[in-house]
DNA sequence: CTATAAATGATAGTATTACTATCAACGAAT
DNA sequence: ATTCGTTGATAGTAATACTATCATTTATAG
């Protein structure tokens, strides 16, 4: 039995949280706490109490809570890439691949037994409500230089390449890919909190509706 | 000569900043400071020093800096609605109206002499970099109940109505409208800070490119 | 089995933030 | 002349976001 783990660039942490028990506890409980409290109300102090440790110990893994958030989001996108690779490598044409990716991105997230230390459902909540905060800061350029957004950019690239495969003349492949990725999460947030901004909450199955919305958005837009 | 001013719901402030000199100074300089420092590093203390006043005085106008941000963003969207009304009421068909709206939303913002107290260019920067933070909080449901997002929702409605006018069978009019609104700002941010997520930065005129991207996105998607 | 290094815990301390409270001073309206 | 509304001045508090130091436990290598 081989153990799969998601390896992340070493700029994403001070000390690799996957390398120790404490590190794993930090990740596990930070997902729980951030999804419950929201990122603003989340503090290392609260986390340290939750895991019976100290602030100082947590600071040895992550410089600050923003870095921890960036790490979690990066883990999420690396996980998505892994799932996409797994579920699309056997597919023949780019249309099918793209369709499958859209399904994976929009579907309801359930616990993935491959990674028992991560609550993927709670992490998805964080991605929906907090991921924009990873780059909406004054540090974005430095963070980008340090490769903190590599995973997301790579996924965007991946989707853009398929789009260009389907229609080589489409000018805005990356723009459409990033728009679709952002929208797929944003619409879920709107459905729950600002329902007049979307139809998703009115339809029987919001996840399926989201899938159809995003699929339609992409395929109609790139059609030559 | 009639003076036009943008009236905002009274839940957006404690005391109307447009009613006093100090209030106007708060708005004027907060736009400057937030656009320079970013919302996280912006504090009432820094603002009070900038305008030679005190924190306590600022708190009489806004409960906290988040409320001030919400106020500024609400002002922006009310201003956009005003401009849209002005520039589209004479147009005949919904296609033309929608096209004009997309142009207004994506075009580079220049100072509007009608409102000398507001630096629209700096405010647009804030909208691009900070506006998602108005609703990405644990308070979003309460804030929404208090009508803080009325302006944005109304604009989204406005666009969705035109979309339905053009294609009454399109299921996701509001979802597409909110996606387009979000994307039009997000793409500008990406172009500047995460350029691999968009083509905008590579093209001669990024604003014009954004206009074509969003226009294409909407019109292709709704086409029956 | 011991020496040594690595990881963690315990504790303390600091500058800043995000407020709240109180009271004095000032100008404008009645 | 009084009173009201606005602002300024000052003070104070709990919490946050760290940083630093040193002791203790745990793992590992010889």
Query: Given this model, what pLDDT does residue B224 score?
Result: 65
62-121 on B, CB < 7 Å from strand C: 63-66
Give the whole-angstrom CA distance, residue A191 versus residue A185: 10
| B99: nearest Cα among B180, B205, B200 | B180
Quick check: B72 and B123 in contact, CB under 8 A? Answer: yes
Residues whose CB is less than 8 angstroms from the CB of residue B85 and which lie 6 or more positions away in sequence, other chains included: none
Task: Return left, alpha or beta for A38; rule: phi > 0 is left, psi -120 to 50 is alpha, else beta.
Answer: left
Residues of A in contact with B38 (CB under 8 A): 137-138
Query: Given this model, what pLDDT does residue A55 score?
Result: 95
Query: Given this model, what pLDDT does residue A1 score?
Result: 40
Contact call for A221 and B221, based on CB within 8 A: yes
Q: Is A161 exposed, middle or buried (0-12, 13-18, 19+ CB in 10 A)?
A: middle
Residues whose CB is less than 8 angstroms from the CB of residue B109 and which lie 6 or more positions away in sequence, other chains included: B120, B121, B123, B124
Cβ-nearest to A193 among B40, B129, B144: B144
Q: Tens place of pLDDT for every residue, chain B, 224 residues? A: 456 788 888 899 999 999 999 999 999 999 999 999 999 999 999 999 999 999 999 999 999 999 999 999 999 999 999 999 999 999 989 999 999 999 999 999 999 999 988 999 999 999 999 999 999 999 999 999 999 999 999 999 999 999 999 999 999 999 999 999 999 999 999 999 999 999 999 998 999 999 999 999 999 999 86
* Residue A20, CB, strand C, below 7 Å: yes
Contact call for B183 and A179, based on CB within 8 A: yes
Query: Given this model, what pLDDT does residue A164 score?
Result: 98
Q: How far is the CA of A56 from the C1' of C12 (A)?
A: 12
Burial per residue of B148-185, b for 16 or more beta-carbon CB atoms within 10 angstroms, e otherwise: bbbbbbebbebbbbbbbebeeebebbbbbbbbbbbbbb
Residues of B in contact with A200 (CB under 8 A): 175
10-69 on B, CB < 7 Å from strand C: 41, 43-46, 55-56, 59, 63-66
Quick check: B172 and A213 in contact, CB under 8 A? Answer: yes
* Residue B104, CB, strand D, below 7 Å: no
Burial per residue of A39-50, b for 16 or more beta-carbon CB atoms within 10 angstroms, e otherwise: bbebebeebbee
* Residue A43, CB, strand C, below 7 Å: no
Give the whole-angstrom CA distance, residue B122 versus residue B115: 13
Residues whose CB is less than 8 angstroms from the CB of residue A28 and which lie 6 or more positions away in sequence, other chains included: A117, A118, A119
Q: Which residues of chain A have pLDDT under 50?
A: 1-2
Give the whole-angstrom CA distance, residue A159 versus residue A181: 9
For B47, what's the count of Cα atoms within 13 Å in the CB-facing half-sphere? 30
Give the whole-angstrom CA distance, residue A121 versus residue A118: 9
Query: Given this model, what pLDDT does residue A84 score?
Result: 97
Neighbours of B64 (CB within 10 A): 11
Crossing angle of helices A65-88 and A120-130, in 10° steps, is 120
Identify the residue whose tokens are 């430095």: A142
> Number of residue pairs across A and B with CB atoms under 8 Å?
141
Secondary structure letter of residue B136 according to DSSP? S
Q: What stretch of H or E contains A219?
A: helix A206-222
| Residue B105, both tokens | 């939303």
Give the whole-angstrom CA distance, residue B198 versus residue B188: 9
Quick check: B51 and B26 in contact, CB under 8 A? Answer: yes
Give the whole-angstrom CA distance, residue B42 versus residue B30: 8
Give the whole-angstrom CA distance, residue A76 versus residue B70: 30
Q: How far is the CA of A122 from the C1' of D30 (A)?
A: 46
Query: Given this model, what pLDDT does residue B6 score?
Result: 84
For A195, what's the count of Cα atoms within 13 Å in the CB-facing half-sphere? 8
Q: What are phi and psi of A120, to 5 degrees?
A: -65, -30
Quick check: A145 and A132 in contact, CB under 8 A? Answer: no
The domains found in chain A, sorted by start residue, are 72-222 (1.10.357)
Residues whose CB is less than 8 angstroms from the CB of residue B153 and which lie 6 or more positions away in sequence, other chains included: A194, A196, A197
| Residue B139, both tokens | 């308070």
Interface test with A, best of B155, B159, B167, B174 (most A CBs within 10 A): B174
Q: How far is the CA of B23 from the C1' of C23 (A)?
A: 23
């Amino acid at each position: 039995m081989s153990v799969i783990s998601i390896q992340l660039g070493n700029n994403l942490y001070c000390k690799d949280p996957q390398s120790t028990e404490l590190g794993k506890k930090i990740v596990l409980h930070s997902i729980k706490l951030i999804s419950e409290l929201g990122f603003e109300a989340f503090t290392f102090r609260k986390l340290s109490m939750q895991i019976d440790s100290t602030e100082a110990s947590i600071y040895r893994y992550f410089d600050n809570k923003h870095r921890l958030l960036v790490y979690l989001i990066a883990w999420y996108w690396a996980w998505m890439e892994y799932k996409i690779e797994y579920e699309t490598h056997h597919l023949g044409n780019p249309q099918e691949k793209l369709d499958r990716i859209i399904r994976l991105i929009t579907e309801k997230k359930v616990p993935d037994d491959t990674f028992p230390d991560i609550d993927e459902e709670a992490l998805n909540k964080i991605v929906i409500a907090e991921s924009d905060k990873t780059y909406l800061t004054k540090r974005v350029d430095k963070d980008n230089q340090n490769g903190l957004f590599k995973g997301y950019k790579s996924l965007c690239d991946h989707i853009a390449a398929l789009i260009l495969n389907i229609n080589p003349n489409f000018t805005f492949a990356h723009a459409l890919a990033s728009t679709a990725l952002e929208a797929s999460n944003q619409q879920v947030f709107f459905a729950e909190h600002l329902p007049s901004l979307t139809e998703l909450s009115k339809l029987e199955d919001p996840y399926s509706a989201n899938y159809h919305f995003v699929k339609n958005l992409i395929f109609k837009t790139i059609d030559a």
